[in-house]
Structure 1
Amino acid sequence: MTLDTPLRLAAPVLSLLLLAPGLTACTGDEVEDDTSNGDAEPQWPMAESEVEREVDPQLTADETASIADDQLALALDLYHVLREGDLSGKSFSVSSYSISAAFGMLYGGTVGQAREQMESTLHFSLGDERQHVAHNWLDKQLAARNIEGVTDPDFMAEPVVLKTANGVWLDKTQRDGLVPDYLDLLARHYGTGIRIADFQGNAEGERDGINLWVSHRTNELIPELIPDDVITPDTTMVLVNALYLKAPWDQQFTEGATSKAPFTKLDGSTVEVDLMHNPVMSGLYAEGEDFSAFAAPLRGSALEVVFVVPDDFTSFEAALDPSTVANMLSSLEYTVVDTYVPRFELESDVPLTAVLRDDLGMLAPFVDSSSFDDIVPQLGVITDVLHKTVIKVDEKGTEAAAATAIVIGEDGGDYEEPSAVFRADKPFILMIRDAPTQSVLFFGRVLEP
């Protein structure tokens, strides 16, 4: 492959992050309470199964491909609805991993039409027990991405940290109706039990406690997942997934090489941004008919940040579908690239209630109070789906977090000449994915750093 044409990231870009090995691997509900900021989590009473978590879940090759394809399809479904709706004209990202994991727990106790709609809308193509095995398998794969830091004077390296956590809270008035099989499923596949909360008597205090739980598991990147007035005395259950990643670049950018440079916005105007520069960064690069792409590896090389710069961002993103993204990624080839990408922080508060219920057709879980009878009979309906993501990219590496809450209640080495130049100095699309499993963890866009 001849790579002579400079790749400019000065217009809309597709950015893909691939998660790499990390220092601390925590999955399920194993994260210890972090009191470094002086705040200790409440100690909720627990309803737990004696079943242990499956430590070596296995998938067939077809199932492995399916879960990656399904999460990408969900990410794109959400992306298109959001870019045309509530987040039109804005930068944002979503984590289909986090959304799928949170709903996977709920799916385990969902029945009837709600179950069928959940399978269709969320692309749970494996279905039933195999869907839960796949979620557990992916968590175990991500845990293996962690890499310890190195403090040898001759070689210093920051760790790769990747943590996932699942949590479920149930109002104490519902405890006696809990279906034992549901507790077994949560323990076996999601590594969690159920915390017994007092939503009726202390809704605001429980909201604060759940937010603190999320904050500790996202290194305080997401301090308030659930806003005021979402949890009420009518709330019966809250299910949460949290994801946290921090990893250094495999080959870092030098801070002294960062300089102010123009970033071309969608309307053609420019804004000055901090553009990082590494003249000899090894990674995966491709040029298509209407885009250029570069995958910058994080330490360990299993995780990458992939930036995609289309010639025409608007038409390119409108045409994005799973096959387009898959073909784009498969066209990447290893080379050395003279790389320019912006330093940026992207925080997204993504409204998902109406998106899932109205735009994507998953109505039954929001209106049928018998939808979750395999958890607790007449538990209620989904009243809110909350989702937040944070992505930070700088000279040292990448830090990212995602959290999803579903609220249920009543109502409702050697120097080598670079073979290409890559500039991310215009809008770009952004993904974070795990390369070995091909699972998309984040998907979004940056219109202005």
Structure 2
Amino acid sequence: MRRLLTALLTRAARPGTDPNMLVATGVRRKRPVAPPVAETVRGLAAFGHALFAQAAAPEANAVLSPLSIGYAFGMARAGAAAATAVQLDRVFGFPTRGPHTALNALTRRILTTGGSPPRSGRAVRTRPEPPVLAMASGLFTRQGLSVRPGFLHTLAAQYGTGVREVDFTRDAAQIIDAWAARETAGRITKVFDHLAPDTQLVLANAVYFKAGWEWPFTDPPERGAAFTRADGTVVRTDLMRRSGTVPYAAGPGWQAVELRYTGGELVMWVLLPEAGGSPVGLLAPEVMTRVAAELEERQVELALPRWDFSTRLDLLESLSALGLTGTDYSGIAEEIFLEQAIHRAAVTVDERGTEAAAVTALASAPTGPPPPPPKPVRVRADRPFAFAIVHRPTLMPLFIGQVADPVAKG
């Protein structure tokens, strides 16, 4: 069987692909025709909010990537047993027909590069031109595991990746960590806290984003401003300041501004609830849709803290609460059951721009111009707020999060 599997695979040749990955022989990544991208975006946006509401503590900073988690489980769906596949479609909002084609088309639409990102420091020291939005995926299997040819074909044709054999009794964790570090420009260097020696496979996805503001924060910062946390306590932090015309919207109990990155298609939405309000509700799809529809150019005086933190999520418990209880992925290989699902994400925002990265790993064992504003609007983020990094044309939320304490590194 090992000889047959080897005959079905060749080394990855696509630029930016891990050369150690073996992909299905003779299979090129497909270019989808008229796939249901909008339906996929709606599903992943709703999933992202539901997971965030389930997993994020109100008093803590948090960031996650609906794109990375959805993509990893999209790959897993290609090997899911029937009952598990039905649950995946319901939880992630995958299209009932052609989910892999839709994810293929979505990433082709929004990614800016097919290669690994350049290694970066923690601060956004330089502004890449154009912005970098990169993704990588891979299947790491124990030596000799017989992966089903149909699954390998889907990985190659729709996800542009393949399989790499590793030794889970020795250095597999280090190999996966090195892969994650390379694909996130050094932002995420550890994936699993522990991998059992009898692990059969790890299915992984990484997303990396870095972009400079179209209009950086150049006004003098406000030093030592008070930021009121959810529990009413106060911390002191500097607030970046910028005055000018930006897209702005407001609704019952909230304000929103859109901050554009260079290149035109990627933006950050800062979603500020009224004092005492919860940021999490502002990430709901119906609110995000309203924000997109109602943003209008306004003169805004914006004050915003810097933030720099990371999040680790053990996904299985939260996904089970959302309705994903099936763990049977025997369409990947014989008797494959999911026993770990880890998501790590990190984000840095400063005067120059934003850097964000995420890794998801699954392990298995046995409008028109507005009227002139009457006066500038003040948006002062001196209390917990939500943010979303969004691909504006499709409204795909790449990263969502909340800043509960800008001085905490968490």
> The TM-score by the shorter chain falls in which range?
0.7 to 0.9
d(CA) in 2 for partners of 1:300 and 1:290?
32
Write the distance in 1 (CA, Å) between the matches of 2:341 and 2:20: 23
2:309 is equivalent to residue 346 of structure 1: yes
Q: Counterpart of 1:223? A: 189
RMSD of Structure 2 on Structure 1 (CA): 2.6
SS at match of 2:90: helix
Q: Output aligned runs, 1:128-167, within 5 Å.
A: 128=97, 130-144=98-112, 158-159=128-129, 160-167=131-138
Counterpart position of 1:363: 325
Q: Give deviations 1:318-354, integer Å, cap 9, x for gaps.
A: 5863223312332111233222111111211112121
CA distance in 2, matches of 1:82, 1:401: 18
1:377 counterpart = 2:334 = yes
CA distance in 2, matches of 1:316, 1:193: 39
Question: What whole-Å deviation, never above 9, does each CA across 1:55-85 have from its counterpart, x for those lacking one?
Answer: x32335xx232111111110111011113xx
In the TM superposition, what whole-angstrom CA distance separates every residue of 1:14-66 from its partner, at most 9, and x where no partner exists?
Answer: xxxxxxxxxxxxxx985367xxxxxxxxx747353320012x32335xx2321
Where 1:57 maps in the other structure, the secondary structure is coil
SS in 2 for 1:137: helix
Q: List aligned pairs for 1:23-34, cutoff 5 A.
A: 30-31=15-16
Counterpart position of 1:80: 53
Match of 2:393 in 1: 436
Residues 78, 151 of structure 2: 8 Å contact kept: yes
Q: Which residue of 1 aligns with 2:153?
A: 184
Which residue number in structure 2 is paired with residue 408 of structure 1? Answer: 364
Q: 1:107 aligns with which of 77, 81, 84?
A: 77
Query: What displacement does 1:423 show?
Result: 1.4
1:123 to 93, 99, 103: 93
* Unpaired runs of at least 5, structure 1: 1-27, 34-42, 147-155, 366-370, 411-415
Cα deviation, residue 169, structure 1: 0.8
Determine the structure 2 residue equivalent to 1:395: 351
Q: Paired residue for 1:421, among 349, 360, 378? A: 378
Match of 2:167 among 198, 209, 226: 198
Counterpart secondary structure, 1:286 = strand
Is the Cα contact below 8 Å between 1:94 and 1:444 reproduced in 2? yes
| SS across alignment from 1:105 | helix
- Note the alpha carbon deviations across 1:287-321, whole angstroms, 9 max, x for none: 21211111111112311111111114545635863
* Structure 2: runs of 5+ lacking an equivalent: 1-12, 115-125, 367-371
Which of 23, 28, 35 aligns to 1:52? It is 28
1:80 maps to amino acid: A
- Per the TM alignment, residue 373 of structure 1 is displaced from its structure 2 partner at its CA by 2.8
Percent of aligned positions with the same letter in both sequences?
Answer: 28
Distance 2:313 2:58 in 1: 12
1:273 aligns with 2:237: yes
Q: Which residue of 129, 141, 164 maps to 1:170?
A: 141
Residue in 1 that maps onto 2:118: none
Counterpart of 2:120 in structure 1 is: none
Does 2:174 match 1:211?
Answer: no
Over 3 Å counting, the alpha-carbon distance change for 1:70 and 1:342 in structure 2 is same
SS at match of 1:135: helix
3-state secondary structure, aligned to 2:378: strand
Quote the Cα distance in structure 2 between the aligned partners of 1:251 and 1:319: 25
Farther off after superposition, 210-219 or 256-265 = 256-265
Distance 1:306 1:318, change over 3 A: closer
Equivalent residue number for residue 283 of structure 1: 246
Give runs of ≥4 in structure 1 deviating > 6 Å.
none
Choose from 63, 69, 82 the match for 1:93: 63
- Which has the higher relative contact order, 1 or 2, with Cα contacts under 8 A spaced 6 or more apart? 1
- 1:264 deviates by 1.6
The CA deviation at 1:184 is 1.1
**Distance in 2 separating the partners of 1:305 and 1:424:** 14
| TM-score of the pair, normalised by structure 1 | 0.78
Alpha-carbon distance between aligned partners in 1 of 2:283 and 2:403, rounded to the nearest angstrom:
16
